[in-house]
Amino acid sequence: MSRREFLKHTWRTLSALPFIDKMDRLFRVKRYDLTTGIEIDSDDEHVSFAEAAQLCRHLGDSFRRLDLDHWREELTVERLKKWTEIVVLQMNAEDFIDWPDINRANDEPDESKLFYVPKDGSDANHVLGVSDCQTTAKLTGLFINPYSDLYNSPDWLGIRIHELVHKLAQETTICKGTPPDQMEASANIIMLLTLAAMANRGMATAFKSFVFEFTDVCLGATRYLVSNEEELREYEEIRTTIRPGIISQTRYEKLNREYSGNQYERLEILKKYSYLPLEKIMRAHLKSHDLLKDLTLQPRFVYPKGSSFNVAPPL
**Residue 133's pLDDT is what?**
93
Query: Which amino acid would we find at residue 126?
Result: H
CA–CA dist 280, 290 (Å, integer): 10
Return per-residue pLDDT of the chain as tens, 315 residues: 665 665 555 556 555 555 545 554 555 689 999 999 999 999 999 999 999 999 999 999 999 999 999 999 999 999 999 999 999 999 999 999 998 999 889 887 777 889 999 999 999 999 999 999 999 999 999 999 999 999 999 999 999 999 999 999 999 888 888 999 999 999 999 999 999 999 999 999 999 999 999 999 999 999 999 999 999 999 999 999 999 999 999 999 999 999 998 999 999 999 999 999 999 999 999 999 999 988 999 887 655 555 554 455 555
CA–CA dist 92, 161 (Å, integer): 13
Integer CA distances (angstroms), 224 to 2, 61, 293, 296, in order: 52, 21, 23, 22
CA–CA dist 195, 192 (Å, integer): 5
**Residue 284's pLDDT is what?**
96
Q: What's the gap between Cα 56 and its chain centre?
A: 12
Decide: 215 and 63 in contact? Cβ < 8 Å. Answer: yes
**Residue 82's pLDDT is what?**
97
Residues 6+ apart with CB under 8 A from 69: 63, 242, 243, 244, 245, 248
**Residue 28's pLDDT is what?**
63
Strand 115-116 to strand 137-140: parallel, antiparallel, or no bridges (unpaired)?
Answer: parallel
**Residue 168's pLDDT is what?**
95
**Residue 20's pLDDT is what?**
47
Cis peptide before 109 (omega within 30 of 0): yes
CA–CA dist 67, 54 (Å, integer): 20
**Residue 309's pLDDT is what?**
47
Q: Give the 3-state secondary structure of residue 31.
A: strand
Residues 6+ apart with CB under 8 A from 279: 46, 47, 221
**Residue 54's pLDDT is what?**
98
Query: Which amino acid would we find at residue 265?
Result: E
Decide: 185 and 272 in contact? Cβ < 8 Å. Answer: yes
DSSP letters along 167-218, please? IIIIHHHHHHHS-HHHHHHHHHHHHHHHHHHHHHTT-HHHHHHHHHHHHHHH
